[in-house]
């Protein structure tokens, strides 16, 4: 596969996942502000920007959050920038992306480009983004051949999901609010599944264990690491005599082992630091993938994704 096509498909996966996860996070924060009128909205806004890695000088408020994480095309962490990046990546890989998938991405970009998000009420806008991303992802899974190109798409989606979930877990572990873990579960779309599987809804340890280690849940970190490693092994099968050749596989596999073999009793120990390390691992894996698969790609202007 051409490195240009492989890189474009990889970043489509990352951009769509970033747009969906950002919409989930903003929606949960909006609900919390409505449900808890005494919450410090300025502090909550600052925490949210910090979770997303957005540097902002001065006091933060809800208007600033909406601008930087939703509407501003010049903000690399905004939903608009992510959807624009997905559309540009799809345009560069038109010969591989299915017609239905291209139409889904292009229709979504066209609506966003013409101010659809700004016209809708915030709660409706976030739901619309989640639904559009889900439709595009399902369309890709159902209309693309599950060959190398699809595996690059899944790989990008998985690495972005690991990074975003690690950010949410770190924020919950460092938070002092009694709703910190509930917020993280809801932002990951995990609250319903967690309630069904857990006997103690107020346990920080069980909430952390679910988001980190619950294999049946598709947004847990260990499940997503499994998916990423599987995609990598299908793209570059390991040498059964000489071991792993892929640096990205080695990095992600080591991160998975460090999670799996930690005792449940110390799941909360140094959790923010461990999640920061996991984010660094995602960054290193991204660089390793770029060196291994994408070095021959034509240079492009990326919007929104973290390299």
Residue 51 makes CB contacts below 8 A (sequence gap 6+) with: 25, 167, 168, 170, 171
Note the pLDDT of residue 30.
Answer: 83
Q: Using CA atoms, how far apart are residues 168 and 22, in angstroms rounded to an integer?
A: 11
Residues with Cβ within 8 Å of residue 159, at least 6 apart in sequence: 14, 228, 282, 285, 286
What band does 238 get if pLDDT is binned at 50, 70 and 90? low
Q: Which pLDDT score, from 0 to 100, does residue 210 have?
A: 94
The answer to whether the beta carbons of residues 214 and 188 sit under 8 Å apart is: no
In the chain, what are the domain boundaries?
A: 1-144, 145-296
Please name the residues in contact with 114: beta carbons below 8 A apart, sequence gap of 6 or more: none
Span 172-191, pLDDT tens digits: 888 777 788 988 999 999 99
Q: How confident is the model at residue 299 (pLDDT cuts 50, 70, 90)?
A: very low
pTM above threshold 0.75: yes
pLDDT at 261: 87
CA distance 303 to 12: 11
Q: What is the pLDDT of residue 178?
A: 79
Rg (CA), the chain: 19
Residue 267 scores a pLDDT above 90: no
- Average pLDDT score over residue span 199-205: 76
Mean pLDDT of 157-182: 90
In angstroms, how far is the first alpha carbon of the chain from the final one? Answer: 21
């Amino acid at each position: 596969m051409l490195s240009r096509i492989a890189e474009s498909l990889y970043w489509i996966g990352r951009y769509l996942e970033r747009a969906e996860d950002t919409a989930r996070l903003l929606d949960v924060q909006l609900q919390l502000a409505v449900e808890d009128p005494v919450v410090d909205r300025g502090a909550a806004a600052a925490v949210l920007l910090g979770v997303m890695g957005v540097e902002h000088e001065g006091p933060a408020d809800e208007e600033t959050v909406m601008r930087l994480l939703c509407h501003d095309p010049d903000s690399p962490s905004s939903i608009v920038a992510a959807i624009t990046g997905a559309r540009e990546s799809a345009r560069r890989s038109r010969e591989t992306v299915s017609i239905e998938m291209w139409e889904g991405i292009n229709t979504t970009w066209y609506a966003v480009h013409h101010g659809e998000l700004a016209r809708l009420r915030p709660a409706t806008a976030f739901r619309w983004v989640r639904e559009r991303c889900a439709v595009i992802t399902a369309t890709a899974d159902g209309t693309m051949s599950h060959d190398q190109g699809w595996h690059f798409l899944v790989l990008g989606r998985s690495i972005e999901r690991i990074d975003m979930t690690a950010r949410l877990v770190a924020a919950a572990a460092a938070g002092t609010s009694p709703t910190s873990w509930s917020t993280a579960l809801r932002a990951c779309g995990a609250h319903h599944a967690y309630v069904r599987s857990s006997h103690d809804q107020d346990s920080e340890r069980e909430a952390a264990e679910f988001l980190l280690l619950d294999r049946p849940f598709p947004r847990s970190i260990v499940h997503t690491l499994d998916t990423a490693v599987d995609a990598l092994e299908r793209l570059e099968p390991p040498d059964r005599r000489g071991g792993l050749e892929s640096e990205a596989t080695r990095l992600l596999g080591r991160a998975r082992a460090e999670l799996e073999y930690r005792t449940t009793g110390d799941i909360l120990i140094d959790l923010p630091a461990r999640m920061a390390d996991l984010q660094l691992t995602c960054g290193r894996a991204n660089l390793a993938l770029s060196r291994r698969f994408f070095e021959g790609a034509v240079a492009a202007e990326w919007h929104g994704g973290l390299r």
